[in-house]
Amino acid sequence: MSEDRPEPPHTGLDPVDRVLAREAEIAALPVTEQAAAYEALHEELERILNASPGSLPAGLVDSVTEPGSDAVGERERP
């Protein structure tokens, strides 16, 4: 990683961290290729995050909102 670029965020979920690390490389691509590269990263993140909740760390699963919820990062607790 170059000195002028910040480190990518670390989520603790290796597949997500690998995708986020690739994001920094997109800025070096020609502008005409960047949209497709971001779309590919987005699809990969969706695939990972749509995996069975049992395969995700508990902290990540607990922070996900219920489908249709307006609150980001919040969940109604019983």
Does 40 score more than 80 pLDDT?
Answer: yes
How distant, in Å, are the alpha carbons of 11, 14, 34, 59, 64 from that of 24? 16, 16, 11, 25, 25
Does 63 score more than 90 pLDDT?
Answer: no
Residue with tokens 């919820």: 69
User: Which carries the bigger pLDDT value, residue 16 or residue 30?
Assistant: 30
What's residue 59's pLDDT?
Answer: 61
